[in-house]
A and B are shown apart, each in its own frame.
Chain A
Amino acid sequence: MADLGTTTPGGYLLVLAILLPLAGIILSFIPGGRSAERVALWSTPFGFALASAIAVDVGRAGKPVVYAIGGLPPPLGIALRADGIAAVMLIAAAVIVTAAALYARAKFATPEGVRESRSSLTFWIMLQAIWAALTIIFVGGDLFNLYVALELLTFAAVPLVCIDGRAETLAAALRYLLFALLGSICYLLGVALFYGAHGTLDMPLLAQRVQATPVVWTAAALMTAGLLAKTALFPVHLWLPPAHANAPAAASAVLSGLVVKGSFFLTLRLWFYVLPALPADRIAAVLGWLGSAAVIAGSILALRQARLKLLIAYSTVAQIGYLFLIFPLAAGSQPWSAIGWSAGLMQVLAHAFAKAAMFFSAGLLAEALGHDQIARLGGAARVLPLTFLTIALGGLSLMGLPPSGGFSAKWLMLQASIASGQWLWSLPILAGSLLAAGYVYRILAPALSDSQVSLELPPKRSHEAIALALTIVAIALGFAPQTFFDFLEIGRPVPAGLP
Chain B
Amino acid sequence: MSLLAFLDILLALLVVAVAVWTIVARDLFAAVVGYVAYGLLLAFVWIRLYAPDVALTEAAVGGGVTGVLLITAGKRLGALKNVAPEAQPGFAFRLLAGALAALVAGAIGAAILMLPEQPPSLAPEAAAAASTAGAGLGNPITAVLMSYRSFDTMLEKIVLILAVVGVWSVGSDKAWGGAPAPFRQSKPYAPMVFLAQMLAPIGVLIGIHMFWTGANAPGGAFQGGALLAAMWMVIMMARLVEPPRVDAQWLRLALVAGPAVFLISGIAGEVAAGSFFAYPPSLAKPIILLIEAFMLLSIAAALPMLVAGPPNEGPG
Within 8 Å by CB, do A and B touch in the complex?
A: yes
Residues of A in contact with B (beta carbons under 8 Å apart)? 7, 12, 15, 19, 22-23, 25-26, 29-30, 32, 67-72, 75-78, 115-119, 121-122, 125-126, 129, 132, 136, 144-145, 148-149, 151-152, 155-156, 158-159, 162-163, 165, 170, 189, 193, 196-200, 209, 213-215, 218-219
Report Cα–Cα, A214/B108, bound state, in Å. 11
Question: Which residues of A have CB within 8 Å of B166?
Answer: 122, 126, 155, 158-159
- If A22-B263, A119-B173 touch, whether A77 touches B149 (CB-CB below 8 Å) is yes
Q: A368 CA to B181 CA in the complex, in Å?
A: 39
A162 to B122: give the CA distance in the assembly, Å: 42
Report whether B121 and A199 are in contact in the complex, using a CB–CB cutoff of 8 Å.
yes
Nearest neighbor of A144 in chain B, beta-carbon distance = B152
Q: How far is the CB of A304 from chain B (nearest CB, A)?
A: 28
Q: Are A116 and B119 in contact (CB under 8 A)?
A: no
Contact status B165-A148, CB under 8 Å = no
Q: Which residues of A contact B149 (CB under 8 A)?
A: 77-78, 144-145
B111 touches A218 (CB 8 A): yes
Point out the residue from A26, A77, A117, A199 that lies within 8 Å of B256, measured CB to CB: A26
**Pair count A-B, CB < 8 A:** 167
Q: How far is the CA of A197 from the CA of B155 in the complex (A)?
A: 26
Q: Complex formed: what's the CA distance from A70 to B152 in Å?
A: 12
* CB neighbours of A151 from chain B (8 A): 159
State which of B150, B159, B163, B276 has its C-beta within 8 Å of the C-beta of A15: B276
16 contacts between A and B (CB under 8 A): A22-B259, A26-B260, A29-B252, A70-B147, A75-B125, A115-B177, A117-B176, A148-B156, A151-B159, A165-B172, A170-B170, A193-B115, A198-B120, A218-B107, A218-B110, A219-B111
Residues of A within 8 A of B162 (CB): 25, 125-126, 129, 152, 155-156
B89 within 8 A of A: no
B278 at the interface (CB under 8 A from A): yes
Measured CA separation A117–B252 after assembly (Å): 15
Q: Does the CB pair B176–A116 fall under 8 Å? A: yes
B266 near A121 with CB under 8 A, answer: no
The residues of B that contact A78 with a CB separation of less than 8 Å are 149, 151-152
- Selected from B115, B152, B155, the residue in CB contact (under 8 A) with A196 is B115
Partner of A70, one of B115, B177, B260, B269: B269
CA distance A22 to B267 in the complex (A): 12
Chain A residues with CB under 8 Å of B168's CB are 118, 122
In the assembled complex, which residues on chain B have CB atoms less than 8 Å from the CB atom of A23?
A: 263
Contact check, A215 vs B115: say whether CB atoms are below 8 A apart: yes
Tell me which of B111, B151, B165, B274 has the highest count of chain A C-beta atoms within 10 A of its own C-beta.
B111
Q: Which 5 A-B pairs have the closest CB atoms?
A: A199-B120, A71-B275, A122-B169, A118-B176, A218-B111
Q: Is the CB of B155 within 8 A of A116?
A: no
**Nearest B residue (CB) for A213:** B114
A302: min CB distance to chain B, Å: 30
Which B residues are within 8 Å of any A CB, using their own CB?
Answer: 107-108, 110-112, 114-116, 119-122, 125-126, 129, 133, 147-152, 155-156, 158-159, 161-163, 165-166, 168-173, 176-177, 247, 249, 252-253, 255-256, 259-260, 263, 266-267, 269-270, 273-279
Complex CA distance for A449 and B122, rounded to whole angstroms: 68
Residue in chain A with minimal CB distance to B249: A30
* Interchain CB contact under 8 A, B256 and A70: no
The verdict on A215 contacting B111 (CB below 8 Å), with A69-B151, A72-B129, A116-B247 known, is: yes
Chain A residues with CB under 8 A of B267? 19
Partner of A193, one of B111, B171, B278: B111
With a cutoff of 8 Å between Cβ atoms, the chain A residues found around residue B120 in the complex are 198-200, 209
> Nearest CB to that of A119 among chain B residues?
B173
Contact B163 A155 (CB under 8 A): yes
Known: A12-B270, A144-B152. 18 other contacts (CB 8 A): A12-B276, A25-B158, A26-B161, A30-B252, A67-B276, A69-B150, A70-B148, A70-B269, A72-B129, A77-B148, A116-B177, A145-B155, A162-B170, A165-B170, A198-B120, A199-B119, A215-B111, A218-B110
Determine the chain B residues whose CB is within 8 A of the CB of A22 once the complex forms.
Answer: 158, 259, 263
Nearest A residue to B252 by beta-carbon distance? A30
B126 touches A76 (CB 8 A): yes
> How far, in Å, is B86 (CB) from chain A's closest CB?
15
Contact B165 A149 (CB under 8 A): no
Contact B148 A76 (CB under 8 A): yes
Cβ–Cβ contact A189 & B108, under 8 A: yes
Interchain CB contact (< 8 A) of B275 among A25, A69, A144:
A69
What is the distance, in angstroms, from B209's C-beta to the closest C-beta of chain A?
Answer: 28
Rounded to whole angstroms, the CA-CA distance of A163 and B126 in the bound complex is 44
B146 to chain A, nearest CB (A): 10
- Rounded to whole Å, the gap between the CB of A159 and the closest CB of chain B is 4
B149 and chain A: residue at smallest CB distance:
A78
Residues of the A chain whose Cβ atoms lie less than 8 Å from the Cβ of B278: 70-72
Residues from chain B with a CB closer than 8 A to the CB of A189 are 108
Q: Is the CB of A199 within 8 A of B159?
A: no
- Select from chain B the residue with minimum beta-carbon distance to A217: B111
Residues of A near B273 (CB, < 8 A) are: 71
Quick check: A29 and B256 within 8 Å, CB to CB? yes
**Complex contact B170–A159 (CB within 8 A):** yes
Contact between B155 and A215, CB atoms less than 8 A apart: no
Complex CA gap A151/B266 in Å reads: 22
Give CA–CA (A132, B159) in the complex, Å. 11
Q: In whole angstroms, what is the CA distance A121 to B277 when docked?
A: 29
Of A75, A116, A159, A219, the most chain B CB neighbours within 10 A belong to A159
Of B152, B155, B267, most A-chain CB atoms within 10 Å? B155
Determine which of B152, B155, B173 lies in contact with A165 in the assembled complex, contact meaning CB atoms within 8 Å.
B173
Closest B residue, CB atoms, query A78: B151
Question: Out of A29, A122, A152, A200, which one reaches B155, CB within 8 Å?
Answer: A152
* Contact of A32 with B169 at beta-carbon distance under 8 Å, contacts A26-B259, A69-B151, A200-B120 already known: no
Question: Are B169 and A159 in contact, CB atoms less than 8 angstroms apart?
Answer: yes
The answer to whether A76 touches B122, judged by C-beta atoms less than 8 angstroms apart, is: yes
Q: From residue B159, how far is it (CB to closest CB) to chain A in Å?
A: 5
Indicate which residue in B122, B133, B252 contacts A199 across the interface (CB closer than 8 Å).
Answer: B122
Which residues on B sit within 8 Å (CB–CB) of A26? 161, 256, 259-260, 263
Chain B residue at smallest Cβ distance from A15:
B276
Query: Smallest distance from the beta carbon of A223 to chain B beta carbons, Å?
Result: 13
Would A30 and B253 be within 8 Å (CB), given that A117-B176, A125-B162, A155-B163 are in contact?
Answer: yes
Chain B residues, Cβ within 8 Å of A29: 161, 165, 252, 255-256
Q: Which residue of A lies closest to B107 (CB)?
A: A218
Instruction: Say whether B277 contacts A163, CB under 8 Å.
Output: no
- Give the docked Cα–Cα distance between A428 and B220 (Å): 55
Q: Which residues of A contact B155 (CB under 8 A)?
A: 136, 145, 148-149, 152
